[in-house]
Structure 1
Amino acid sequence: MHIGVIADDFTGASDIANTLAKGWADGGGLRTTQFLGIPVTAAPADCEAGVVSLKSRSIPAAEAVAQSLAALEWLQAQGCRQIVFKYCSTFDSTPQGNIGPVGEALAQALGVRGVPACPAFPGAGRTVFQGHLFVGDRLLSESSVATHPLNPMTDPDIRRWLTRQSTEPVGLVPHQTVRQGAAPIRTALDRAGAGGERLVIVDAISDEDLVAIGEACADLKLITGGSGIALGLPRNLIAQGVVTGRRGAFTGVQGPEAILAGSCSRTTLAQIELHRSDHAVLEVDVDAVIRNEVTPSDVVEFIRANEGLQPLVFSSNTPANVAAYQARYGTGTVAHALEQLFAQAARILVDGGLRRLVVAGGETSGAVVSALGLQSLEIGPEIDPGVPVLIDRGTSLALALKSGNFGAPDFFAKALAALEARP
């Protein structure tokens, strides 16, 4: 294994695994495996890039640091020469969050400074300019993530945001330097490190910027950012003759299907509305779940009764309604109840023969995959930017784990079609 990734949630892990597997501009990618939790055995011999999926985004910083350092130790034991700490492209984290603590801890463990921090993913509308994060044409603080139920982002200045979480100074490589190419970027990172800056925000407004950043980081031990930060990394290894850039083909999986949606993002809400116009859809009532009036068995019964009709079960809701439920029952209580509802239903369905599963939402995906007891997933073709087909070799289960804000309006139907076998 050449590149090792530590991802702070399961959908984000799929996102960056997809980036590494497809590479840049048909230049070839890496044979990539997504590991669900920290493995206890060695990686497959043909694995060129490994992504360790943690569920650490919203847990206390000390716990996130401990898990991330354990993942680092395993990746180093697999021979990784470069580590990537992957977090959300909208920098989901509170001022007391763990992007800064984990980034610093990994950098200290590896003995490095001047570590790039770039959440940009232009393909999904996330760009960084002068240290400010944009979603489309809006500042981060004016986007839907400003009302995120767990990690509301109210400040678009991610250098300032990261400084609140860090114990050491945070630097900036502005776009005027990035657009000059790899050599000036590397010089700026080295200068920042020499000046005592452990983490350094790097601007990026295009895929070409990310490729240049990747080239500048070819021999760095540690990189941090969103999935876009990995865009140029396969090309470095291919140019060095370390890998060939060729991947195997995906033939698809046939069998019963289901869609589970726990994300409350605007994108997911719009996808649900489109899907419900001509497919079987069940909306979960939060009050009923808390009172145990809606159970995993109810979810399973609905999905089985609508096999072949692309059944969707969702708990997604508007920010105002989510806030009302949280005030009534507590944030942790609501989140846990919904995650367990979907996780237990997914386990029953898969045990009963379900073979195609689409999950929307990072926390929901983490709960579902954990309940299924999967250990590793092979990365297949891309469905939409940032969302690949995932295949469990052991059970012949095909999945798509979608971050809340990702995917085209017709993502759910498109994902099920991508998971299905073709004649």
Structure 2
Amino acid sequence: MKIGVIADDFTGASDIALMLRSNGMNARQFVGVPTTDFGEVDAGVVSLKSRTCPIEEAVSNSLSACDWLLEQGAEQIVLKVCSTFDSTPEGNIGPVAEALAERLGEPVVLVCPAFPANGRSVFQAHLFVGDKLLNQSGMQNHPLTPMTEPDLRKVLKPQTSWEVSNVPFSVVCQGAEAIRDSMPASKQMVIVDAIQNQDLMEIGAAAKGRKLLVGGSGIAMGLPANFGTTVEGNDWEGKQGKALILSGSCSIATRGQVELYRQTADGAVLELKADQMIAGAYAAKEIADWAVAQDTAPMVYSSADPGIVKKAQAKFGREEIASAFEQFFSQLACAFVDAGGERLIVAGGETSGAVVEGLSVAAMDVGPEIAPGVPALSVVGTDTVLALKSGNFGEPNFFKQALAVLGGENARSQ
């Protein structure tokens, strides 16, 4: 293994696994720290649910993943975080990055969540989503990690005892050597600007020999070239069996995708309501049986407007609602697969994590790209194929595209 990745959620793990695969590395995604030998790979991606868990748990699990990756021979560790830098004032990005840096003996940590293909760019240490600052992008309404500050220095500084600085675009545009020369001597986390793919390639070259990087999947774009690895074409075949779409994301992008799919789903849609979920009104097996009986791939969703979400959180409690929905989506996915379903499309990082854990997935191989940052995945040792989508990713017709690719079409349908 050349590169080891610790991802703080499941969609982020598949996102960076696709990036590494697309740029020349054989990559496999693992669910939690593996206990079984899955063979040699160039890049191993360990997916955790450490974005919103207690800090001590996030640090402990991340260190365990790091130790396992080092045992497999990993020469460089990447802490994969969301391209919108989702976190709370206390963490978990800063505490985990600091703990990993100290474990690895890395005195300077490059940090860059930029992903231009999905509209994420960093300029003067400020994170933009498209043409809007992070705090004006809709992320300020995230139900678990509302992002109200676009200056990543101000986001990260309360989370770590290390100094936080910035390598501005005026340096980045001069190339890898200039980036390397700008690195401080010790104990700093350095936000590196990037507004285009070439910037990420230069950051990757500048990171050669670094033991730890922190960022979105874009930070991995230039890393495989440092190791000289190449992979052959993908032999993805897909599955033609029954499909189910599950959406627990409340992002603007996903809500638009849900609405567009509703219009063409021939009534095969079911919206889950918070009050009924808390009351235990939904039966996973009953809904799974309904799903496999549909001619059109059905969609079960809880992607409500932020105002509705806030009212429900105020009434029932944020953690209680999140836990209830995650547990149900997990049960529903298992019931659907048990009923003969083969294709699952999941929107939302927390929802994806719950589904993957519920299915007891140990490892997944990376297939073709469905959308930037979203690959098709095949569950090792089963007939199940998955698409795990971060809430903000994908074109308006993402669900239709995902159904096609999981069904065996190697190119994204337009």
TM-score range for the pair, normalised by the shorter chain length: over 0.9
CA distance in 2 between counterparts of 1:136 and 1:422 reads 29
Q: For residue 387 of structure 2, give the secondary structure of its aligned residue in structure 1.
A: strand
Equivalent of 1:198 in 168, 188, 202 = 188
- Structure 1 residue 202, shift from structure 2 partner: 0.4
CA distance in 1 between counterparts of 2:380 and 2:240 reads 14
Instruction: Tell me if 1:325 matches 2:312.
Output: yes
8 Å contact from structure 1 (residues 171, 197) kept in 2 = no
Instruction: Tell me if 1:283 matches 2:283.
Output: no
Instruction: Tell me if 1:296 matches 2:284.
Output: yes
Q: For residue 5 of structure 1, give the secondary structure of its aligned residue in structure 2.
A: strand
Instruction: Tell me if 1:169 matches 2:163.
Output: yes
Equivalent residue, structure 1, for 2:36: 41
Identity %: 52
Equivalent residue, structure 1, for 2:173: 179
CA distance in 2 between counterparts of 1:422 and 1:404 reads 23
Change (3 A) 1:158 1:422: closer
Counterpart code for 2:283: T
Change (3 A) 1:298 1:321: farther
Counterpart code for 1:217: A
Matches within 5 A, 1:113-152: 113-152=107-146
CA distance in 2 between counterparts of 1:152 and 1:2 reads 35
Counterpart code for 1:21: R
8 Å contact from structure 2 (residues 234, 368) kept in 1 = no
Equivalent of 1:397 in 372, 384, 391 = 384
Q: For residue 405 of structure 1, give the secondary structure of its aligned residue in structure 2.
A: coil
8 Å contact from structure 1 (residues 31, 247) kept in 2 = no
Matches within 5 A, 1:75-94: 75-94=69-88
Q: Which whole-Å deviations, capped at 9, do the CAs of 1:249-291 have from their partners, x for residues lacking one?
A: 2111121110000000010000010000011211112111111
8 Å contact from structure 2 (residues 347, 390) kept in 1 = yes
8 Å contact from structure 2 (residues 246, 301) kept in 1 = yes
Q: Which whole-Å deviations, capped at 9, do the CAs of 1:281-303 have from their partners, x for residues lacking one?
A: 11112111111112213421331
Equivalent residue, structure 1, for 2:4: 4
8 Å contact from structure 1 (residues 88, 119) kept in 2 = yes
8 Å contact from structure 1 (residues 234, 245) kept in 2 = no
CA distance in 2 between counterparts of 1:114 and 1:65 reads 19
Equivalent of 1:266 in 249, 252, 265 = 252
- Structure 1 residue 393, shift from structure 2 partner: 2.5
Give the gaps of 5 or more residues in structure 1: 24-28
Matches within 5 A, 1:213-228: 213-228=203-218
- Structure 1 residue 248, shift from structure 2 partner: 3.5
Greater CA deviation, 118-127 or 245-254? Answer: 245-254
Give the gaps of 5 or more residues in structure 2: none
Q: Which whole-Å deviations, capped at 9, do the CAs of 1:192-231 have from their partners, x for residues lacking one?
A: 1x1x333110000000000000011121111110000000
- Structure 1 residue 110, shift from structure 2 partner: 0.7
Equivalent of 1:380 in 367, 373, 376 = 367
CA distance in 1 between counterparts of 2:354 and 2:310 reads 21
CA distance in 2 between counterparts of 1:151 and 1:421 reads 36
Q: For residue 14 of structure 2, give the secondary structure of its aligned residue in structure 1.
A: helix
CA distance in 2 between counterparts of 1:236 and 1:111 reads 20
Counterpart code for 1:41: T
Equivalent residue, structure 2, for 1:305: 293
CA distance in 1 between counterparts of 2:71 and 2:129 reads 37
Instruction: Tell me if 1:112 matches 2:106.
Output: yes
Runs of 4+ in 1 over 3 A off after TM superposition: none
Counterpart code for 1:322: V
8 Å contact from structure 1 (residues 30, 247) kept in 2 = no
Instruction: Count how many residue pairs are aligned between Structure 1 and Structure 2.
Output: 408
8 Å contact from structure 2 (residues 292, 341) kept in 1 = no
Instruction: Tell me if 1:371 matches 2:358.
Output: yes
Equivalent residue, structure 1, for 2:322: 335
8 Å contact from structure 1 (residues 107, 198) kept in 2 = no
Equivalent residue, structure 2, for 1:101: 95
